């Protein structure tokens, strides 16, 4: 991974980019959304392999549609087909795919898997969700905030619930963009210390802030954005019942949402468990922007695909080998 001025070759976490690069990506997404036809052959003939080790609606559909809208192709690889690390090693999968496609999007469990894939493959790797982070989601989230509020810097963004992958990425991107991000979790469910401290350090440079609390009321009061996610993430299904008792005071319901600013918006990465982390009256209210947020996955990811895949290196691997024959 590179320094702050050169563009990273991969999109593994929002942390790997400079604040200016994150802003540039958001502005590219705004342009692509406004003029999709202008980008319809930007990645002509390029193929994106999509490796899924967990289920998906939004990530699968928006990457699939997004690469096609840019003139390219997609290839869906299900958990059963690849069986990453069991049927075949991460190294061997990377070394095969780099000769066949020009980019890989991967949704998996351990974050180290996407890091290793990026280390081994000469083509761009995009993190489509790991247990640690969900960077494409955060780009769509802040694109949505930008569209609705006209800015991100200086806004109070309150994440209520589990200090999970989505919370981490919301912290990272919020810190990059100068937001005041609050995270309210039950004791024992905080974001990882390294994630919070990175975000706090970066926020200190962007005039933002990152604050952790166990009090949802403190987090929500006068907030511009209220955000929640499921209490048990994919892979934690067997903890769902035990978690419900800890998380009930953190439900985003009408009473909690009323403590935010009168024009506050409600956000959720989806899928939602209605009646758990959010009630129908909040997720279905006019200030809920969850479907605009979901649509913005498409536009934000087209910007990421374009930035990473416009200079394909797959041809370079083959050309280098021909020279050595
Ligand atoms: N928000 C999100 O990533 O949705 P999927 O799990 O359906 O892809
Ligand atoms: N935290 C959730 C997000 C789903 C998009 C999960 O990892 O299951």
Q: Which of 107, 180, 243, 268 is catalytic?
A: 107
Q: In terms of Cα–Cα distance, which of 212, 305, 219 is closest to 256?
A: 219
Tell me if 14 sits within 8 A of 139, measured CB to CB: yes
Ligand 2 centroid distance, CA of 59 (Å)? 11
Neighbours of 122 (CB within 10 A): 15
- pLDDT value, residue 298: 98
Q: In terms of Cα–Cα distance, which of 157, 142, 144, 135 is closest to 291?
A: 144
169 lines ligand 2 (CB under 6 A): no
Ligand 1, atom nearest to 134 Cα: 3
- Ligand lying nearest the CA atom of residue 60: 1
CA angle, 79 as apex, 129 and 84 as ends, to 5°? 85
Residue of minimum CA distance from atom 3 in ligand 1 = 59
> What pTM value is reported for the model?
0.95
pLDDT mean by block of 10 residues, the chain; 325 residues: 71 98 98 98 98 97 98 96 91 98 98 98 98 98 98 99 98 98 98 98 98 98 98 97 97 98 98 98 98 98 98 58 61
269 lines ligand 2 (CB under 6 A): yes
Phi/psi for 92 (5° steps) reads: -65, -35
Q: What is the DSSP string of 39-84?
A: GTTTTTT-EEEEEESS--SHHHHHHHHHHHHTT-EEEEE-HHHH-B
- pLDDT value, residue 3: 42
Ligand 1 centroid distance, CA of 208 (Å)? 27
Ligand 2, atom nearest to 165 Cα: 1
Q: Which of 137, 176, 251, 293 is catalytic?
A: 137
Ligand 2 centroid distance, CA of 119 (Å)? 25
- pLDDT value, residue 311: 83
Tell me if 90 sits within 8 A of 83, measured CB to CB: no
- pLDDT value, residue 82: 87
Please confirm, yes or no, whether 134 is among the known catalytic residues: yes
Could you tell me the domains of the chain? 14-133+297-313 (3.40.50.1370), 137-294 (3.40.50.1370)
CA distances from 168 to 16, 159, 198, 269 (A): 13, 10, 10, 13
End-to-end CA distance of the chain: 31
C-alpha torsion angle, residues 122, 123, 129, 133 (rounded to 10):
60
- pLDDT value, residue 75: 98
What is the three-state SS of 158-212? Answer: EEECCCCHHHHHHHHHHHHCCCEEEEECCCCCCCCHHHHHHHHHHHHHHCCEEEE
240 lines ligand 2 (CB under 6 A): no
229 lines ligand 2 (CB under 6 A): yes
Tokens standing for residue 167: 């919370």
């Amino acid at each position: 991974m590179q320094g702050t001025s050169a563009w990273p070759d991969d999109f593994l976490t929002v942390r790997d980019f400079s604040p200016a690069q994150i802003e540039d990506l958001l502005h590219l997404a705004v342009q692509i959304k406004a003029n999709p036809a202008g980008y319809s052959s930007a990645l002509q003939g390029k193929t994106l392999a999509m490796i899924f080790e967990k289920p998906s609606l939004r990530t699968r559909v928006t990457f699939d549609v997004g690469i096609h809208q840019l003139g390219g192709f997609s290839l869906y690889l299900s958990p059963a087909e690849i069986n990453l690390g069991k049927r075949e090693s991460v190294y061997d999968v990377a070394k095969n795919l780099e000769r066949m496609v020009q980019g890989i999007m991967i949704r998996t469990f351990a974050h180290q898997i996407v890091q290793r894939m990026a280390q081994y493959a000469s083509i761009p790797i995009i993190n489509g969700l790991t247990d640690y982070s969900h960077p494409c989601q955060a780009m769509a989230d802040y694109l949505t905030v930008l569209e609705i509020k006209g800015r991100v810097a200086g806004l109070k963004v309150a994440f209520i619930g589990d200090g999970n992958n989505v919370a981490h990425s919301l912290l990272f991107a919020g810190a990059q963009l100068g937001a005041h991000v609050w995270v309210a979790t039950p004791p024992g469910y905080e974001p990882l210390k390294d994630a919070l401290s990175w975000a706090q350090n970066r926020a200190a440079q962007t005039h933002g802030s990152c604050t952790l609390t166990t009090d949802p009321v403190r987090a929500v009061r006068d907030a511009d954005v209220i955000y929640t996610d499921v209490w048990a993430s994919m892979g934690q299904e067997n903890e769902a019942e035990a978690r419900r008792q800890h998380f009930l005071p953190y439900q985003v319901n009408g009473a909690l949402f009323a403590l935010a600013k009168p024009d506050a918006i409600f956000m959720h990465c989806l899928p939602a468990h209605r009646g758990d982390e959010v009630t129908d009256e909040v997720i279905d209210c006019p200030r809920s922007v969850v479907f605009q947020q979901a649509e913005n996955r498409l536009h934000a990811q087209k910007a990421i695909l374009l930035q990473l895949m416009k200079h394909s290196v797959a041809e370079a691997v083959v050309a280098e080998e021909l020279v050595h024959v």
